[in-house]
Each structure stands twice: as C-alpha cells, then as structure tokens.
Structure 1
Amino acid sequence: MDGHKFRIIRLWLNKTQEEFAKFLGVSLATVARIESGSLDVSPRVKARLVSRIDLDEDFFAFYEKMRKIS
C-alpha cells in the first residue's frame, strides 16, 4: 500500500489526519509522512487498518473515482 491509497482510505472514512492518527494509534506526523510518500505504511499500521475497517463495493467505487482525479 502506498501513501495515496492510505490517504484515500482516510478520506473514505471522512477523517482528518489527526482523527485518522488517533483511530490507528499512531502520531499525526506518521499519517502525514505516509501520505506524503516519505514513510512506508508499516505492517503494524496495515494490520490495524485491516482489523478496523470493512472495505465494501462502495469504497472501491470511491477509490476508482479518487484515483482518476488525483
């Protein structure tokens, strides 16, 4: 997962970077660095995402839309 996908998930959840950081139990700086591409998404953060969200068909439609305009 890259920072762009990470950001799209945050936007899908309608969270600010600060809210998303709290949701994942990481720092705001970590979220910002991942989204900017200066930090890879760690296995720990990926595991937390998987355990806390359910990506359904609506998400994948949203993802495709965001991918095209970004």
Structure 2
Amino acid sequence: MDAMKAKAIRYFLGESQEKFARRIGVATSTICAIEKGQRDITDYIRAKLVRIEASLSDEFLLFFEHFRNC
C-alpha cells in the first residue's frame, strides 16, 4: 500500500479527505500528508486501507490503473 493507492481508494469512494480520515480514524492532516508523500503510512493505517480495498468492487482495479497512469 502506497500513497497513490491510498488516494485512489479515497477518490474511488468519492470522499473528501475529512470524511476519509474519519473512516480510518485519523486526523485529516494525516491523510493530506500521506497523499503528498510527506508522511509514511503506519501499520495501523495500512491495515485499515487494506480492509477497505478488500471490500471494494472489481471496478476499483480498472479505476486504479487509470488513476496511476494519469
């Protein structure tokens, strides 16, 4: 799990940084810093993101490929 995939998950869900931060249980500033590459993803956050990703539809894979190539 890296910053780009974390951001792609948030975009796929259509959530603001604030709402996504609440979902994960961290501060909005933490999400912002991760997405900018200014902060590493902790094991706690990585575990939350992996669980969220596992619950997403297969469409996320296509979305992420496009997101990564933009």
Aligned-pair CA distance for 1:62: 0.3
Verify the 8 A CA contact 1:12 1:59 in the aligned structure 2. yes
What stretches of structure 2 of length at least 5 have no aligned partner?
A: none
1:13 match: 13
Aligned length, in residue pairs: 69
In structure 2, what residue type is equivalent to 1:30?
Answer: T
Q: TM-score, normalised by structure 2?
A: 0.88
1:10-30 deviation line (CA, Å, top 9, x unaligned): 101110000000000000000
Q: Quick one: distance in 1 between partners of 2:52 and 2:13?
A: 11
Q: How does 1:1-70 map to 2 (within 5 A)?
A: 1-53=1-53, 54-69=55-70
4+ residue segments displaced more than 6 Å: none
Percentage of pairs with the same residue? 36
Aligned-pair CA distance for 1:51: 2.9
Q: Give 3-state SS (helix, strand or coil) of 1:41's partner.
A: coil
1:16-47 deviation line (CA, Å, top 9, x unaligned): 00000000000000000000001011110111
In structure 2, what residue type is equivalent to 1:44?
Answer: Y
What stretches of structure 1 of length at least 5 have no aligned partner?
A: none
In structure 2, what residue type is equivalent to 1:58?
Answer: E
> Quick one: higher RCO (CA 8 Å, sep 6+), 1 or 2?
2
Verify the 8 A CA contact 1:17 1:28 in the aligned structure 2. yes
